[in-house]
Amino acid sequence: MQTLVAVREVTKEIMRKNPDFFPIQPFDYRRLLVISLGTGSAKQEEKYTAKMAAKWGVFGWLFQRNSTPIIDVFSQSNQDMVDYYLSVVFQALQSQDNYIRIQDQSLTGSTSSVDVSTKRNLNDLINIGQNLLKAPFSRVNLQTGNSEPVINGGTNEDALKKYILFPSN
């Protein structure tokens, strides 16, 4: 969500012709570089099916097998929709190379929790981050909504180095 707010704020300032911003046209997203670094999300498990959910009443959506489906669905869909929306906008404006989203979506156990700060968990998170740099650079497939590796896209580290060492503008 923060990435969407940041893009909106920059766009507003450009439209207001704020002199602190370079003179570009609104929606010339080729002049922007958005790097969205996620904090990770829990591995998407097939906890629920449409067939199961069809039988739930109000309480079924609130409590189901030691989880809260309505909160799970809301949280995950919020993250996914922001990434999908920004991917659509940048691709529609032929600026897909200017939107980079790096997010681990396979966290489990303590690493998926926001309040476990043990030395072991922090070290595990460092290792996850280092492995994420080596993972294939991915982008949302607008047909499926899934994040897929970019052909010849290299790794996340390659994508970041491309813009840090050799910015296009």
**Model-level pTM greater than 0.85?**
no
pLDDT along the chain (169 residues), means of 10: 90 89 82 85 66 86 80 75 92 92 84 84 92 94 90 94 69
Residue 157: the pLDDT is: 95
If residue 78 lies in a helix (H) or strand (E), which one and from where to where? helix 69-92
**Is 128 a domain residue?**
yes
**Is 105 a domain residue?**
yes
Residue 92: the pLDDT is: 92
Residue 71: the pLDDT is: 79
| Number of domains the chain is built from | 1
Three-state secondary structure call for residue 102: strand
CB 128 within 8 A of CB 107: yes
CA 127, chain centre distance (Å): 19
CB 44 within 8 A of CB 76: yes
Q: Which domain holds residue 132?
A: 2-46+78-165
Residue 68: the pLDDT is: 80
**Is 56 a domain residue?**
no
**Is 85 a domain residue?**
yes
Q: With helix as H, strand as E and coil as C, how does 105-153 read?
A: CCECHHHHCCCCCCHHHHHHHHHHHHHHHHCECEEECCCCCCEEECCCC
The CATH code of the domain that includes 102 is: 3.40.1090.10
**Is 145 a domain residue?**
yes
